[in-house]
Amino acid sequence: GVRRFGAFHPGGQQKRQQQQQQQKQHRSESIALAERNLCAPKVHTMVTPVRTLVVQEINRCIQMITDKPNRGAVKDPQTLRLKEQPEKPVVLIISWLNARQKHLLKYAELYVDQGFDVFVTQITPWQLLWPVKGTQLVAADIVKFLKNNDFKNGLILHGFSVGGYLWGECLVHIARDLPNYQVVLDRVKGQIWDSAADITEISVGVPTALFPKNPTLQNALRKYMLYHMKAFHEPATSHYIRSSQMFHTNLLRCPALFLVSKTDPVGTVEANTRVKDSWEQSGVKTTFHCWDRSPHVGHFRKHRDEYIDVLFHHLRQLNLPAIKQDALLRAKL
């Protein structure tokens, strides 16, 4: 008899093509998952194609990123208190607008490698445009989460771009009942602000974030943003101004690192310098690192080694317990 191997079987070629098509489809689905917006509809647990990091939802706009696949993000849905309290120092990454998850995972991996637990939060464009029903609800959940969990080994904020506005809304919420929320401020041991955007640049930042490669749509949205801020002063712009005032005043007194660029039209050197000067007058120790040429929220990608060096130097000064101090001595990963 004649043995027919799959490679020479009359239907073998067709079968192989079907298998290859299925593999391509599987790969494209994996990539699509990795790039989803963190505020997209719920996906409770997901192992990403990048390393072995797992993303688990605390709620719609707060996620935990861990390298332990079996670690559950079990919490009380009312208080957002985690059943398994973090034993490591914690970093809360306050994302830029429309950030892709694969980009946020690069920062998460950086911190996980140094012994941190990582949580991520962000807002959508709609939540930014309508703060009362959008950003302020997210801010209230962030403050609730930070208050009702212990973070006994310290908490770091690492914010990007419009994340400065979101944290400003958190400060507005905290200021309404400061005795109750003072514990949140006390837990924050350090802060990093990468390309922080002020209210004055919102009409530039939002179009750039939504349409990075389409100048025509950028221009159209920029005109709408200017109209929106004039037409909806009470429901929108007044809240932007209040948040900006709170961000400049800043109830935090922990050391701060600013990462900026002379060529960034959104997180400008001038706006960040005003914030730095205001904080220094309040006694905050600040470090201001400015690149000559670097894109908005792209400093890590453009100047990776220098970014890590500056960041690790800042973290070492915070004297956080339980992190890998020897790893922080490295300027490169």
What CATH number should be reported for the domain holding residue 44? 3.40.50.1820
Share of the chain above pLDDT 70, in %: 80
pLDDT at 267: 93
pLDDT at 34: 40
pTM (2 decimals)? 0.81
- Within a domain: residue 64? yes
- Within a domain: residue 19? no
Report CA torsion sign: 189, 65, 161, 203. negative
Backbone dihedral angles phi then psi of residue 233, each to the nearest 5 degrees:
-65, -50
Going by pLDDT thresholds of 50, 70 and 90, the confidence category of residue 31 is: very low
* Beta-sheet strands, E only, within 79-210: 90-94, 117-121, 155-160, 188-194
Structure tokens at 149: 């969990």
Q: CB neighbours (10 Å) of residue 159?
A: 23
Average pLDDT over residues 160-164: 96
- Within a domain: residue 3? no
Share of the chain above pLDDT 90, in %: 67
pLDDT at 157 over 70: yes
pLDDT at 9: 43
Number of domains in the chain: 1
- Within a domain: residue 8? no
Please name every residue paired with 291 in a beta bridge, in sequence order, or none if there are none.
261
Residue appearing with tokens 């600013």: 258
> In whole angstroms, how large is the CA radius of gyration of the chain?
22
Structure tokens at 325: 């101090």
Q: In which domain, by residue range, is 188 found? A: 36-328
pLDDT at 43 over 70: no
Smallest Cα–Cα separation from 127: which of 268, 241, 235?
Answer: 235
pLDDT at 77: 86
Q: Per-residue pLDDT tens for 96-120?
A: 998 999 999 999 999 999 999 999 9
pLDDT at 325: 54
- Within a domain: residue 5? no
Least confident span in 4-18, 28-42, 109-123: 28-42
> Whole-angstrom Cα distance, residue 190 to residue 92?
11
